[in-house]
Structure 1
C-alpha cells in the first residue's frame, strides 16, 4: 500500500509541474502610454512597416510622404494603423484566437485513490487502489468544438474588417466636411477682398458727396457680418481637423496640413444599381459578419447534436487487495435516454434561426439604405448641375455688368452689393451640393463594400 501511495504522489506532482501555469501580474503604465501618444508621428517606423503589408492601399497611396500635405489615401493608411477602435478590435480578436487555439482539447485525466480498511478484521491494514480516468472522444464532439471556435474567430476577424471599412468611411466623411468648410472659407475670403475693393470706391464717393452715408454703411455692415461668419467657419474647420486626427489616432496639432478636396469622391458610388447590388451581396462587410455568425451558429448546432452521443470513459487502475497486487479497468458510457442534451440542442436551433433572420434582415437593410443613398446622390448631382449651368453663370454675369456700369461712372451701390452677395450665396450652394453629393457617394461605398482589384480593373476598362 505504501508503494501505491508513493506512486500516486509522484503522478500528482508530475501532472501539476507539467500542466499548471503561474500567475504573473502586469500593471498598467498609463504615463508611458500618454507620452507615446503625445509624441506619435505619422512617419514612425511602425507605420512604415505596417503600410508595407497593406499592398492595395499602399500602392493606391503611392509613395508615402506626409511632408507635402496629407492626402486622403495617406490618412486612411494612418487610420488603419493607429485608430483606437481598430487597435482595440484587434486585441479583442486575440481572445477568440486564444479560444480557437485551445479548443477541442481532451478532458484532463482524473486521478482517483480508493482506500479501504476492514473494520472488524484481525488486521487493521489499509488497502489502496489507484485509478486514472480518461475520456476518449469517440463521438467527434471535440473536433466540432474546435471548428466552432475557429468559426467564431473568423467571424471576429470579419468584424474587425467591417470596423476598418467603417473607419475609412467615417474618415472620408470627415474629409468631405473639412474640404467643404475650407471651400466656404476660401469663398468668404474672396468675397471680403471684393467688398474691400468696392468699399474703397464707395468711401471716396461718400467723401465726395456722391452717395449717402446710409448707403455706404451697408458695405461696412456686410463686411463685419461676413468676418464674423468667417471666424465661425475657421472654428469649425479646426474642429473637423481634430476630428480627422482623432480618427487617425494622432495627437491634435495646429500646424497639420490636409490636402482636402472633393475630387476623390467623383469616382465613388457611380456604378449601375444592379452592379451595386451584386457587389453588396459579395463584399458588404456587415453582411459578411452576419454570414460568419450564421456559420458559427450552424457549427454550434452540429456540436450540440454530436454531444448527444457519449464519449467512452475508461479508468485503468492498480493497487493491492488482500495482500495481492491487482490491476483493474473501469469502462463507462453515458446513455442519452433522459436528458439527451435536449435543452442545448433547442437553444442552438433557436440561435441559428435568430442568426438566419439577422442575416436576411441585414440584407434588406442594406438594400433599403443603398436605394436611399442613390436617391440622395442623384438629387445632389441634379442640384449641382443646375447651379453650375444656370445660377452661377447668371450671378457672374450680373456682377460683371454691375462692375462695368460702375466703371463707366454710374455706380449703383445697392445693385453692386446685391450682386456680390448673390455670387457668394451661389458659391455656398454649390459647395453644399458638392458636399451632399460626396457624402451620398461615400454612403454608397460603405454599404456596397470595398471593391476587389478585379472590380477596379473592370471599372477602369473602356
Structure 2
C-alpha cells in the first residue's frame, strides 16, 4: 500500500489550487439573460408616437444649438410642416434606428477591443505503475505578452470602424432629409392633382348639363352628346386615380416619418424650401462635402487599419508560463517561454487579402465619385430643362387657355354655346395645368438631388437621438 502514499502538499494543495482557478474563471464570465421580442407592445408604442412631442421639441432645440437644420419650434396644433417633418423623421425613421444600433455594435467593438488574451491554466499529472512510484504533477499559468503591437492596431481598426459608422449615420440622415423633402413635394403635388381633377370634373359636369339641354332641344346630335358624356366618365375615373395617388403619396411620406399609415396628423401641403448651395466648382464641393464620399473615405481608412493590423500580426507575441510541480517527491518551480518564428506562414494570406481589400475600397470611392459627378450633371440638366418648360406653360400657354375659357364662357352667356369647343378648352387647360404640376415636381426633385449631392455646408455629427428613444418614445 506504499504507492498510495502522497506528499501532503500534493494531497491538499492541488485540489485547492484547481478549485480556486476554476472559481476565478467563472467570476470573470458574463451570464445570459433572455430578452424576447414584444411586437404587441411595440405596436402600441408605434401607434402613440405623436404623443412624444416633448422629446421631439428637445431634439429641435439641440439641433438648433449644434447648427443643424431645424424649425423654430415643433407644434402639431397648426399642422405638420415640412421642416417639422424632417425632425420627426430623424427621430422615428426605421432605417435610421437600424443605422444607430449598428453604430452601437461598432462602439462596443471599439470599447472592448484590443484586450490581452486570457491567461491559461494548465495541469499535468502522471501516475507511475510501480508500487512505490509517487504522483508526478505540474500546475502552470500561461500568459501571452503582445509585444508585436497587434493589440494597438486592433484598437485603431475598431476606432476607424466606429468613425465610419458615425459617418454612415450622418449620410443616412442627410439622405433621409432629401427623401422626406421629395416625398413631401410628391404628396403636395398629388394633392394638387386631386384638386385639379375634381375641378375638371365639376367643369365637365356643367358642360354635360348644357349638353342635355341642347340635345333635348335638338340643337346637338346624339353622337356629339355621347362624346361629351364619355369625357365626363373619363374625368371621373381620372379623379379616382388621382385620389388613390394622393393617398399612396401620403402613406409613403408617413412611412418615411416613421408614423403609422393611419396617423391622425394634419400634413400641410406646402412645398419644402430647397436651398441649392452656390459654388463655382461643384465637383470640388462634392469631393469635400458629399456625405456618401465621406463614408467611403472612412471605409478606406478601415481597410488601411486592417492592412496595418495584418502586418503587425506577422510579428510574434511571446507566451510565457510558470507554475509549480512535483517529480519524485521533489517540489519544483516551472517556467517556460515560446516564441513563434515567422518563416513559413508569417500571415502572408492575411496581408495579401488586406492589401487587395484596400485597393477595392479605393476603387469604390473613385468610381462612386464618377457616378456622383454624372448624377449631378443629369440633375442640373433636368432642373434647367424643366424650369424652361414650366415657364413656357405658366407664362404663355396657361394664361392663353384661361383667356380662351373666359371668352367661351362670355359667348355662352350670350347664347352662343359651342359645347365641343368648351370641352376642348377645359380639357386642354386641365392638361396644361397637370403638366405644370409635374414639371414643378421635376424642378423640386432636381433641386433636392443637387443639394443632396453637394452635401451640407458644415460637417456635423449625427443627430442627438438615442436608439432606445426612437424605438418606442419612452
Q: Counterpart of 1:27 in 2: which secondary structure? A: coil
| 2:82–2:272 contact (8 Å) kept in structure 1 | no
Partner of 1:457: none
Cα displacement (A) at 1:213: 5.9
Partner of 1:74: 84
Partner of 2:164: 155
Cα displacement (A) at 1:5: 0.7
| 1:158–1:285 contact (8 Å) kept in structure 2 | yes
Stretches of 4+ moved more than 6 A in 1? none
Higher mean Cα deviation, 445-454 or 147-156? 445-454
Higher mean Cα deviation, 97-106 or 280-289? 280-289
Cα shift readout 1:241-284 (whole Å, capped 9, x = no counterpart): 1111111121122753211233524x3x4634x44323311222
Per the alignment, do residues 304 and 295 of structure 1 end up closer, same or farther by CA in structure 2, a change over 3 Å counting? same
Distance 1:397 1:235 in 2: 32
Partner of 2:472: none
Distance 2:39 2:410 in 1: 67
Partner of 2:420: 414
Partner of 2:367: 361
| 1:43–1:66 contact (8 Å) kept in structure 2 | no
Distance 1:338 1:256 in 2: 68
Partner of 1:371: 377
Per the alignment, do residues 205 and 399 of structure 1 end up closer, same or farther by CA in structure 2, a change over 3 Å counting? same
Unaligned runs of 5+ in 2: 1-9, 461-474
Cα displacement (A) at 1:355: 0.9
Cα shift readout 1:388-440 (whole Å, capped 9, x = no counterpart): 22212221222222223333443333222222222111111111110111111
Q: Counterpart of 2:113 in 1: which secondary structure? A: coil
| 1:57–1:77 contact (8 Å) kept in structure 2 | no
Distance 1:453 1:275 in 2: 18
The alignment's TM-score, normalised by the length of structure 1, stands at: 0.89
Partner of 2:278: 271
Q: Counterpart of 2:346 in 1: which secondary structure? A: coil
What are the residue-to-residue correspondences of 1:118-133 with 2, within 5 Å? 118-120=128-130, 123-133=132-142
Per the alignment, do residues 311 and 453 of structure 1 end up closer, same or farther by CA in structure 2, a change over 3 Å counting? closer
Partner of 2:113: 103
Distance 1:13 1:202 in 2: 98
Length, aligned pairs only: 450
| 1:42–1:78 contact (8 Å) kept in structure 2 | no
What are the residue-to-residue correspondences of 1:43-442 with 2, within 5 Å? 43-55=52-64, 60-120=70-130, 123-197=132-206, 215=224, 218-253=227-262, 255-262=264-271, 264-265=273-274, 267=275, 269=276, 271-272=278-279, 274-442=280-448
| 1:4–1:128 contact (8 Å) kept in structure 2 | no
Distance 2:51 2:107 in 1: 30
Higher mean Cα deviation, 238-247 or 54-63? 54-63
Distance 2:291 2:70 in 1: 21
Cα shift readout 1:26-82 (whole Å, capped 9, x = no counterpart): 222222122222333254444344444433687632110122121111111111111
Q: Counterpart of 1:304 in 2: which secondary structure? A: helix
Cα shift readout 1:112-145 (whole Å, capped 9, x = no counterpart): 123245555x732213222211111111110110
Where relative contact order (Cα < 8 A, 6+ residues apart) is larger, the structure is 2
| 2:277–2:451 contact (8 Å) kept in structure 1 | no
